[in-house]
Amino acid sequence: MFDPQALPLIFAALMGVSILLYVVLDGFDLGVGLLFPFAEEAERDRMVASIGPFWDANETWLVLAIGILLVAFPVAHGDILTALYLPVAVMLIGLILRGVAFEFRAKAPLGHKRPWDVAFWAGSLMTALAQGFMLGMYVMGLEWTWAKVAFSLLTAGALAVAYSFIGAAWVILKTDGVLQRKAVDWAKGGIWGMVLGMGAVSVATPLVSARIFDKWFRFPEIVALAPLPLMSGLLVALLWLSLRRLPTANDSFSWFPFAGAVVLMVLGFFGMAYSFYPYIVPEQLTIWEAAAATESLSIILVGTLVVLPMILGYTVLAYVIFRGKATKLSYD
């Protein structure tokens, strides 16, 4: 039904899109959690209100990404996850803490709200650090040596700060007044995480693998690829300029930091995808070697082609319904 050679490629693309959507979408709500200690209680309520209707669906992109890895590349799924056993466990406990703290902080007796806020922050931090660590380990070829762990700790910190940047950008978009002004300061404080993280990965990736080095610095590819870092650099400069002027009197351009952060993440993602293609386990297993049986991939693809547009449709619907500045959350 489908070309057996094309199927693994399609699924690799689908998984990439899911990971990208996850990093952008859960990135902003994880970032909001990371910023909790800097906000007053009423501000925390409003920050939660700004992500309340979305966080659950945002996290589902992670389930889809890991699901595609599981079903389309079963061998790679085992290899990658057993290598990342510990950070995965830390991330899962973090996701559990923060997911439930969302509900408990609103429903527990009043005196218990503060501990649940701490749990929400701690869970967000564990998740962000673990994901950054896994990113670093993946770039380093999933080997546990001191140097590689040190690099992964660097990316862990950088991704957490980058998430706090996109979280702050979301708060700028979804709120106004004092909280919005605070968020501009948070964004100024967090943008370096974005730069450091993307810079570290960009420098390290070609150094770890001669193959990747060659892919980037060979002529004429180097000319075609040059816009990627140049655009990223330009965007960072524009983001910094906009943050110096925000918030504006009529709230214009409050969307810009969030949009800029998203574009940065998309650029970074394409850079990584270009580097690692065609490998799914870096330098060991290509997407064709790791792919599941053609019949099984075909039947998943049929369902995906039917259902994915619907998912995107009602996801957009939810964002439209809850557009505008965040207000108090209520079930009535």
- The site for other proteins (CB under 8 A) is made up of 52-54, 56-57, 59-60, 62-64, 66-72, 74-75, 77-82, 84-86, 88-89, 92-93, 95-97, 99-100, 102-104, 107-109, 292-293, 295-296, 299-300, 303-304, 307-308, 311, 314-315, 317-318, 321-322, 329-332
* Nearer CB in complex with other proteins: 40/56: 56
Q: Which residue has the tokens 């085992």?
A: 78
Nearest to other proteins of 26, 186 (CB atom): 26
CB of 230 to other proteins, least distance (A): 36
Distance CA 310, CA 317 (A): 10
Which helix (H) or strand (E) segment is 281 a member of? Answer: strand 279-281
CB of 83 to other proteins, least distance (A): 10
Residues in Cβ contact with 196 at an 8 Å cutoff, skipping those fewer than 6 apart: 154, 158, 161
Nearer to other proteins, 89 or 226 (CB): 89
Q: How far is the CB of 170 from other proteins (least distance, A)?
A: 16
CB of 109 to other proteins, least distance (A): 6
Angle at 23 between CA 17 and CA 27, to 5 degrees: 155
CB of 216 to other proteins, least distance (A): 30
Nearer to other proteins, 228 or 308 (CB): 308
Closest approach of other proteins to the CB of residue 138, in Å: 14
Nearer to other proteins, 26 or 197 (CB): 26
The CA-CA-CA angle for residues 53, 194, 33, to 5°, reads: 30
CA dihedral 240, 183, 63, 200 (to 10 degrees): 40
78/229 with CB nearer other proteins? 78
- Residue 112 beta carbon to other proteins: minimum distance, rounded to whole angstroms: 8
Distance in angstroms (rounded) separating the CA atoms of residues 172 and 180:
5
Q: Which is nearer to other proteins, 158 or 287 (CB)?
A: 287
Q: Measuring CA to CA, which residue among 87, 95, 32 is closest to residue 60? A: 95
Dihedral sign for Cα atoms in the order 131, 134, 138, 140: positive
Q: CA torsion sign, 74 to 78 to 79 to 80?
A: positive
In this complex, which beta carbon is closest to other proteins, that of residue 67 or of residue 199?
67
CA-only gyration radius of the chain, Å? 20
CB distance 202 to 229 below 8 Å? yes
The CA distances from residue 266 to 160, 272, 277, in Å, are 17, 10, 16
Instruction: Give, rounded to a whole angstrom, the gap between the first and last alpha carbons of the chain.
Output: 49
Please state the closest distance from residue 116 (CB atom) to other proteins, in A.
Answer: 9
What phi and psi values does residue 172 have, to the nearest 5 degrees?
-60, -40
